[in-house]
Amino acid sequence: MTQTVRLTPPLAREDVIRLNIGDKVVLSGVIYTARDAAHKRLYDLIRKGEKLPIALEGQVIYYVGPSPALPGRAIGAAGPTTSYRMDPYAPTLIANGLKAMIGKGKRSKEVIEAMKEHSAVYLAAVGGAGALMSQSILEADIVAYPELGPEAVWRFVVKDFPAIVVNDVRGNDLYMEGVKQYQRT
């Protein structure tokens, strides 16, 4: 039985361990964005033992490169990007406190194992609905790597930002369960 869970980052271990695949999550508060280039920079800083531009502990990172703001809006379209491009870096970020990632598409075995080991979850946002998703973003400011443009690290203040749990802390995978459910044997 799926549930709808309202969460306010930063997230605690208790917040994510109660989530199951298929649960609807509604986020309100601060989340961060980062795509491939920003992930590589964060990963490199961690490997060098240097200070990160954001604290990862309990945070949520949305895989998005938002378009420019429309008049009277915090941001333009803000739909999710394909998550597997962050997979080489995600286990290290998870080990350093990241509790949730939002994107689209499947994750690698290594990312799923890191989520199990460190109690983190992967959430899916609706691809192709960037204009709709942006309506939940009240504030948007670049906090690191402005030279990356839309791929910079942004700080979003969100209200009622919708997502679905795809991978939970037990290693369950909504995509795999969906395939199993509809396979003919």
148 contacts: CB under 8 Å, gap ≥ 6:
37, 38
Residue ranges of alpha helices (H) inside the chain are 13-17, 36-48, 90-95, 109-118, 130-134, 174-182
Q: Would you say 153 and 145 are in contact if contact means Cβ atoms under 8 Å apart? A: yes
Identify which of 77, 67, 79 has the alpha carbon closest to the alpha carbon of residue 105. 79
CA 23, chain centre distance (Å): 15
| Residues 113, 119: Cα–Cα separation, whole Å | 10
The burial class, CB within 10 Å (0-12 / 13-18 / 19+), for 91 is buried
Helix count (H) and strand count (E) of the chain? 6, 7
Residue 39 falls in the annotated catalytic set = yes
Select which of 9, 34, 39, 112 is catalytic. Answer: 39
Q: Would you say 16 and 49 are in contact if contact means Cβ atoms under 8 Å apart? A: no
> Which active-site residues does the annotation give?
39
